[in-house]
A = this chain, B = another copy of it.
Amino acid sequence: MADLSIIVPVSGVVSLAFVAFLVWDVLRQPKGDEEMQRITRAIEEGARAFMRRQYTTIAYLAVVVAVLFAVALGAVRGLEAGFRTAGAFAMGATFSAVSGYVGLHISIRANGRTANNSLSSLDQALRTALRGGAVSGLIIIALSLLGVWGIYHLYGGPSAPEQDKVILSIVGFGFGASLVALFAQLGGGIYTKAADVGADLVGKVEAGIPEDDPRNPAVIADLVGDNVGDCAGRGADLFESTAAENIGAMVLGVALVPFFGINGIMFPLVARAMGLMATVLGVFVVKGREDRPPMSALNRGYFVTMAVATALFALASWGMLNPANGLAFDTRIHPLTWFFFFLCGVVGILTSLAFVYVTQYYTEARYRPVKEIATSSQTGAATNVISGFSVGLEATALPGIVISAAILISFYLGETTGLSAAIGGTPIPIGGLYGTAIATMGMLATAAYILAMDTFGPIADNAAGIVQMSGKGAEVRGRMDRLDSAGNTTKALTKGYAVGSAALAAFLLFSAYLEEVRLLREAKGLAPEISIDLALPAVFVGAIIGVVLVFLFSGLAIRAVGRAAFYIIRDVRDQFREDPEIMKGSHRPNYARSVDICTRGALREMVAPGILAVAGPVLVGVFLRPTGLAAEAVGATLMVGTIAGVILALVLNTGGGAWDNAKKLVETGLYGGKGTETHKASVVGDTVGDPFKDTAGPSLHILVKLLSTITLVLAPLFV
């Protein structure tokens, strides 16, 4: 059997080289005129100030958590295991932070350059924005891949005798990544929406000035927010998804060593590497045309990425997962094993497509749901909110069915391979579980491209803001509006994609958790079977707490935005009152003051939900220890919490996106357009949706993965 694993470091390095090229390509674009540069600098300063403070806060929190966990695990499993996990944790946290930081810096620089390029050509603007976004996308996925690969080799690599221990000690990498992701998304999400809600409410609704009007003191904070919330947050989210997915699949791969040797463990990394290569190609082919919608150019790149990724996936499956081809052979094993596993990958790729289409249906103005919200805005804000919320609730059904189908189909495809394993006498349906793992890999194969499209969104949004603020002509504004609208679509799609992949990755991590509990039990001389049987009261209670955790967390996150927004609204009102010249446009408002108020507010408010997310599952395990079912109860918290988290995230993301586009639909002139009561009502819905879709929803994606990694790391405490 071919050893394809060399492609892992190669693709990582190639991607980083391509990133360097993209950075050079973006930075060589002209920065625009004095006014544009002034605005860009203000955004840069604000973003840098926020990121500096935020990452300092996160670093402190991460150190505290790392020490606590190293001590706890050290006490249970010995000092070395504790240190290894803590080391992996530190590395995961650092890599996540670095990739977020670099990506963000380039995105901000791409803002002004995209705006300037839009003066002359749509293609130039589109490419600058997408390439700026691709820097984030590629660096995130490449560092995630190189990180897991590097730490695996650091801790012994393929030649280590006990593969399971090696891989379990790198679970800390995923946990470090999720912790940073949680705070990056929470802090950034609170910041961006507090600024957005504040700017919208006081600007559009109260003062009656347009979006991105330079007279609004919160306008720079709002633009900064797009970068720190949308770019940095989603980047950390998908960094974590891919890292967690790699690790989870590698844990399962250990059970496949008898069949595929080390290939079972390396396959997830190779599959990811293939996806990276496909993305490089996909980004390269995108070219905008003045007479075509920007979305069709972006979609072309996406389909190229997807097609190449599928082909490479087939290659990798055939090369690495072909038992007849090499190390092991067993007549119970289907000769087309590699093909069934490849089909699992295809299931994953199709799942991502399905999520993209379903999200489009529920959030685009062409379809029934958004139209319905716009219609109900005619009767006021209340009916608009009711209608949007019901759309969000309704939008959980199709994704729920898609995820269910993906899990079942990939599981049974995997079962068909005939692979099975046993731990301490308990048979594990490893073929089926590995099938779901491969579906997750398929879903995440295009992650880098999706991330590039996602970051394209805020870059286009900011560029449109800069064009608007620097008072450019209607033609340029029209061009930017087209890009911005494509950006809104890509942002919505990515959220659907992110939540779908979080759900699949979580199912994979459950299996890893159960595997780990079995191994721990075996090591303690207990019967290794574990079932998360909801009929047992303690397990049922664990499930209740899982759901409560998700809801409480969302409540705290949303409340944080409300509170932070309240400060900004007061500041803007104060500024208008203190200096009436601002509204006349003759005095410049104090942008920095709003940025500063927002930064402090967001960082203060992210602490409570963050602590809840980390402490919640631990407390379940501790409190339910006397029942003797702590590991099972924590498993229920994890699984049912994940389901509830994914579904609630769908409500919040979709509802928010639909409200946003219903407002935009009204702004196109429907029911009287801007300035009418209908429009005001639609703005209320949009504002309500802001913390849903950009704070609580995306934070939930991370919460569900954090639940998985934290329970996996701390499993020794519950058994």
Given A555-B394, A640-B534: A548 and B401 interface contact (C-beta under 8 Å): yes
Given contacts A386-B559, A543-B639, 20 further A-B contacts (CB under 8 A): A197-B382, A206-B380, A379-B565, A382-B683, A382-B687, A386-B687, A386-B688, A389-B688, A390-B556, A391-B559, A393-B551, A393-B552, A396-B555, A400-B544, A408-B537, A408-B538, A543-B643, A544-B647, A640-B643, A644-B647
Integer count of this chain's copies in the complex: 2
Kindly supply a per-residue 1/0 record for chain A positions 161-183, scoring 1 wherever the CB is within 8 Å of any chain B CB and 0 otherwise. Answer: 00000000000000000000000
Give 30 pairs: A residue, B residue, CB < 8 Å, sorted on A.
Answer: A197-B386, A201-B383, A205-B380, A381-B684, A383-B569, A385-B684, A386-B558, A386-B691, A390-B556, A391-B555, A391-B559, A393-B555, A394-B556, A396-B555, A397-B551, A400-B548, A401-B545, A404-B541, A408-B537, A436-B537, A507-B537, A510-B535, A531-B531, A535-B639, A540-B643, A543-B639, A543-B643, A544-B643, A547-B647, A644-B647
**Choice from B392, B403, B408, B640 contacting A627 with Cβ under 8 Å:** B408
Closest-by-CB residue of B relative to A409 is B537
State A436–B541 Cα separation when bound (angstroms): 13
Tell me whether A636 is interfacial, beta carbon within 8 Å: yes
Contacts A537-B436, A556-B390 given; does A396 touch B551 at CB 8 Å: yes
Does A387 have its Cβ within 8 Å of any Cβ on chain B? Answer: yes
Size of interface on A: residues with Cβ below 8 Å to B: 77
Chain B residues whose C-beta falls within 8 Å of the C-beta of A203 in the assembled complex? none
Point out the residues of chain B lying under 8 angstroms from A544, CB to CB.
400, 403-404, 643, 647
Complex contacts, A390 vs chain B, CB 8 Å: 554-556, 558-559, 562
**Is B639 a contact of A540 with CB atoms below 8 Å?**
yes
Contact call B535/A511, Cβ cutoff below 8 A: yes
* In the complex, residue of chain B having the shortest beta-carbon distance to the beta carbon of A542: B404
Flag whether A561 is at the interface (Cβ < 8 A). Answer: yes
B residues within 8 A CB of A541? 404, 407-408
A606 within 8 Å of B by Cβ?
A: no
Distance between Cα atoms of A387 and B566 in the complex (Å): 11
CB distance from A518 to the nearest CB of B (A): 11
| Chain B proximity mask over A22-51: 1 for CB below 8 Å, otherwise 0 | 000000000000000000000000000000
B381 touches A558 (CB 8 A): no
Q: Residue-by-residue, is A362-398 near B (CB-CB < 8 Å gives 1, otherwise 0)? A: 0000000000000110011111011101111111110
Interface: A657 (CB within 8 A)? no
Is A463 positioned at the interface, with any CB of B under 8 Å from its CB?
no
Nearest CB in chain B to that of A677: its residue: B206
Interface residues of A (CB under 8 A from B): 197, 201, 205-206, 375-376, 379-383, 385-387, 389-397, 400-401, 403-404, 407-408, 411, 432, 436, 507, 510-511, 514, 530-535, 537-538, 540-541, 543-545, 547-548, 551-552, 554-556, 558-559, 561-562, 565-566, 569, 627, 635-636, 639-640, 643-644, 647, 651, 683-684, 687-688, 691
Residue in B397, B531, B545 whose CB lies within 8 Å of A535: B531
Q: Is the CB of B408 within 8 A of A566?
A: no
For A415, the closest partner residue in chain B by CB is B537
| Bound form: Cα–Cα A490–B201 in Å | 36
Q: How far is the CB of A293 from chain B (nearest CB, A)?
A: 31
A552 touches B640 (CB 8 A): no
Q: How far is the CA of A201 from the CA of B201 in the complex (A)?
A: 21
What residues of B have a CB within 8 angstroms of the CB of A627 in the complex?
408
Q: Which residues of B contact A535 (CB under 8 A)?
A: 510-511, 514, 530-532, 635, 639
Most interface-central of A394, A432, A651, A691 (chain B CB within 10 A): A394
Q: Please give, as numbers and ranges, the residues of chain B lying within 8 Å of A640 by CB-CB distance.
A: 534, 543, 640, 643
Query: Closest 10 A-B residue pairs measured CB to CB?
Result: A393-B555, A382-B687, A400-B548, A390-B559, A394-B555, A531-B533, A390-B558, A404-B541, A532-B534, A411-B537
A559 and B387 form a contact (CB under 8 A): yes
> What chain B residues lie within 8 Å of A380 (beta carbons)?
201, 205-206, 684, 687
From the candidates B392, B545, B562, name the one contacting A387 in the complex (CB within 8 A). B562
| Contact yes or no, A385 B559, CB < 8 A | no
- Smallest CB separation, A705 vs chain B (Å): 17
Q: Bound state CA distance, A535 and B512, in angstroms?
A: 11
In whole angstroms, how far apart are the Cα atoms of A559 and B514 in the complex? 40
Contact B376 A547 (CB under 8 A): no
Instruction: Please give the distance in Å from A74's CB to the nearest CB on chain B.
Output: 29
A201 and B684 within 8 A (CB): no
A569 near B391 (CB under 8 angstroms)? no
Separation of A197 and B404 alpha carbons in the complex (Å): 37
Which residues from B are CB-within-8-Å of A401? 545, 548
Shortest CB-to-CB span from A527 to chain B, Å, is: 15
With a cutoff of 8 Å between Cβ atoms, the chain B residues found around residue A403 in the complex are 544
**Contacting residues, chain B, for A404 (C-beta < 8 A):** 541, 544-545
Q: Which residues of chain B are near A386, meaning CB under 8 Å?
A: 197, 558-559, 561-562, 565, 687-688, 691
- A585-B681 Cα distance, complex, nearest whole Å: 29
* Chain B proximity of A24: nearest CB distance (Å): 43
Distance (Å) between the CB of A697 and the closest chain B CB? 13
Which residues of chain B come closer than 8 Å to A511, judged between CB atoms?
A: 535
A558 cross-chain contacts in B, Cβ below 8 A:
386, 389-390, 393
Contacts of A530 in B (CB 8 A): 535
Which residue in chain B gives the minimum CB-CB distance to A392?
A: B555
A538 (CB) vs chain B CBs: closest residue: B408
Tell me, in angstroms, the Cα distance from A564 to B218 when the chains sit together.
39
- Residues on B with C-beta less than 8 A from A385 are 385, 684, 688
A545 to B566, CA, bound (A): 38
Question: Judging by beta carbons under 8 Å apart, are A644 and B559 in contact?
Answer: no
Would B639 and A537 count as touching, CB distance under 8 A? no
**Beta-carbon nearest neighbor of A432 in chain B:** B537
A684 to B379, CA, bound (A): 11
Can you name the residue of chain B whose Cβ is closest to the Cβ of A573?
A: B379
- Shortest C-beta distance, A175 to chain B (Å), equals 21
B383 x A197 contact (CB < 8 A)? yes
Neighbour of A651 across the interface among B392, B436, B551, CB < 8 A: B551
Q: Which residues of B contact A531 (CB under 8 A)?
A: 531, 533, 535
